Amino acid sequence: MMLYAWVDGVSRPPLSKGERTTCRDCGGLLTSVVPVENVRHWRHKAGDCDSWSEPEGPWHLGWKEQFDLECREIGLVDALTGERHRADVLCGAGTPQATVLELQHSSISADEQRSRENFYQQAHRMFWLVHIHSEANFNGYSFGFSLDFGSRPVVLEGHTYGVMRWMGRSKQFIEKWKRAKAHVFFDYQGHVFYLASESVSLRLGGPFKKGEFALCVLTHEQFMQAVKQRDFSTLRPNG
Ligand SMILES: [Zn+2]
């Protein structure tokens, strides 16, 4: 979904019903959508130029608003194929540390996950922020029950990780994110957790068995700094 569009030189959400403007990425006509219940956004009259566009709500808006306007919803094009997608957040564009942050509220298949990683990681470091909630499935409950920082704590580069077991019946969710090629963060009840990547897991005593995974807790500030490339040395590019 597109929350921001350029109107008279300003990137912003719609102010009222009936507003129109042009998509900077594809040149298509955009019309305003001002729902009573959900966030205001723009709709492509002829279909979204980003085929991965998904419904968004207050969770997406809340996170996008944490970043400067010029970092939100950045259109990127694959130079070879012409494929076009909008990064939810892109920090440090044009620098070697440029980081794409994808905000994931709905569940996606491993195939979708991989194709987005392939696209964004061509020229950027990539982070996922996965919203863990219980609206459509039981992952939220399973995650809450799984949290265990006491049984197997491991310190790496100043961060204390807990190695824990997924308590849900299906391990598909955690296994999919464990195998991500981008760094994965979970947003659970307002707390941010970093999920040890395959390479970080090795340094924590892994590889971990099926259903086992390691998390560390980040403050909101540490997470923001990680995205903006100022801290969290584990997440240096190639780290
Ligand atoms: Zn467009």
pLDDT computed for residue 48 by the predictor: 96
In a domain, 155, yes or no: yes
> From ligand 1's centre to the CA of 3, what distance in Å?
12
Residue 77 forms beta bridges with which residues? 84
pLDDT computed for residue 148 by the predictor: 98
pLDDT computed for residue 235 by the predictor: 57
pLDDT computed for residue 207 by the predictor: 95
In a domain, 73, yes or no: no
pLDDT computed for residue 173 by the predictor: 94
Domain holding 153, by residue range, is 92-235
Q: Give the whole-angstrom CA distance, residue 140 versus residue 31.
A: 35
Q: Please state, as a whole number, how many other Cβ atoms lie within 10 Å of the Cβ of residue 63.
A: 19
> From ligand 1's centre to the CA of 117, what distance in Å?
21
Number of domains in the chain: 1
> From ligand 1's centre to the CA of 18, what distance in Å?
18
**Segment 165-218, tens digit of pLDDT:** 999 889 999 999 999 999 999 999 999 999 999 999 999 999 999 999 999 999
Q: Give the whole-angstrom CA distance, residue 178 versus residue 199.
A: 10
In a domain, 128, yes or no: yes
In a domain, 147, yes or no: yes
Average of pLDDT values for 1-20?
A: 96
Place 237 in a pLDDT band, splitting at 50, 70 and 90.
very low
> From ligand 1's centre to the CA of 173, what distance in Å?
31
> From ligand 1's centre to the CA of 237, what distance in Å?
30
**Segment 34-50, tens digit of pLDDT:** 999 889 999 999 999 99
Burial track 94-129 (b if 16+ CB lie within 10 A, e otherwise): eeeebbbbbbbbeebeeeebbebbebbeeebbbbbb
Task: Indicate the pTM of the whole model.
Answer: 0.93
pLDDT computed for residue 238 by the predictor: 39
Q: Give the whole-angstrom CA distance, residue 76 versus residue 85.
A: 6
In a domain, 171, yes or no: yes
In a domain, 49, yes or no: no
> From ligand 1's centre to the CA of 51, what distance in Å?
10
Q: Give the whole-angstrom CA distance, residue 63 versus residue 179.
A: 24
Q: In what order do the strands lie in the sheet with 212-218?
A: 72-77, 84-91, 99-104, 125-132, 183-188, 191-195, 212-218, 159-165, 153-156
Higher pLDDT, 138 or 32: 32
Q: pLDDT > 70: what percent of the chain?
A: 95
In a domain, 183, yes or no: yes
Half-sphere exposure of 61 toward its Cβ, with a 13 Å CA cutoff?
13
Q: Give the whole-angstrom CA distance, residue 230 versus residue 128.
A: 18
Q: How high is the mean pLDDT of the chain?
A: 92
Place 233 in a pLDDT band, splitting at 50, 70 and 90.
low
In a domain, 203, yes or no: yes
Place 97 in a pLDDT band, splitting at 50, 70 and 90.
confident
pLDDT computed for residue 137 by the predictor: 72
Q: Give the whole-angstrom CA distance, residue 134 versus residue 219.
A: 23
Tokens of 201: 């897991």
pLDDT computed for residue 232 by the predictor: 58
> From ligand 1's centre to the CA of 164, what distance in Å?
43
